[in-house]
Amino acid sequence: MCLLLKKYPKNVFTEKVLDEFINIGKAIFKDDAELCKFYFKYILLNEKILFKYNSDFQIKFLNYIHLFCQSDITQIGNFINMHRLSLLLRFYDRNKYNEMCCKKHLDMLKTEYMENNKIMNPPLNIKLSYLRDVLNDIIYFIEPSNSFYLFKLLALDLSPCLIKFIINIFKNALVGHKNDNKWKYNFITVLIKNNYEVIMINTFIHSLPDIRLDILELMYYINTNTINKEQKNILKHAKIN
């Protein structure tokens, strides 16, 4: 079905077709968890199908996904594949060498480094804003090792808005009001095992000033949570002894 849909022209992908895809997803969501997982991965979150729709329908689609998340947050983490979402983000950023992500970041560049003044339409930060709520809701319900798919995108050459978006997702997760310390500690363990400092330093060197501040804040939250974990382990061993 996925291979077939990708061959259809864009004019086939109307609002009615989008609604039908969502209705199918709702029906499967209730009755067949395993099938729903494949449906999300290969149909709903397939970037080559999603980008058949115009910008307004893409926004409507992402709002539907957010409603899915809110309907059963404990299950949706199993259905939303972070690797697939990472591909979707890269697809959003596919024109980064021909268009700047937004006017704010364009204005930060020196004139001699700009080949043109073209900005993505709509700006990338606007596009990403509809995914922000989805990721902020589900991040604690995704295995930390799977969340690393998103984090390691920072090792690639990305638009400033996308770098900022990814960093802020993890900043919010590590400092968020949700008291899921187990997820935070496990995610930091994954970061350490994968030498996250190398990614952070390289990203910092090649980033614009506003993003450097976000990177420093993220490093601070990672170190703070690491210290808190070590202190709890010391207290735990002290009580045992």
| Token pair for 128 | 């990403």
Q: Among 31-40, 80-89, 134-143, which stretch is predicted with the lowest mean pLDDT?
A: 31-40
148-163: per-residue pLDDT in tens?
Answer: 999 999 999 999 999 9
d(CA 151, CA 174): 13
Q: Is 181 helix (H, G, I), strand (E, B) or coil?
A: helix
Whether 57 and 18 have beta carbons less than 8 Å apart is answered as yes
Statement: residue 142 has pLDDT above 90:
no
Name beta bridge partners: 133. none
> Over the stretch 212-239, which tens digit does the pLDDT of each residue have?
999 999 999 999 888 766 655 544 544 5
CB atoms within 10 A of CB 189: 14
Q: Is the pLDDT of residue 77 over 90?
A: no
CB 189 within 8 A of CB 202: no
Contact 222, 187 (CB under 8 A): no
Query: What letter would DSSP give residue 178?
Result: S
Q: Residues 214, 220, 223, 228: is their CA dihedral positive or negative? A: negative
Q: How many Å apart are CA 214 and CA 154, to the nearest integer?
A: 13
Rounded CA gap, 68 and 85, in Å? Answer: 15
Q: Determine contact, residues 10/48, Cβ cutoff 8 Å.
A: no
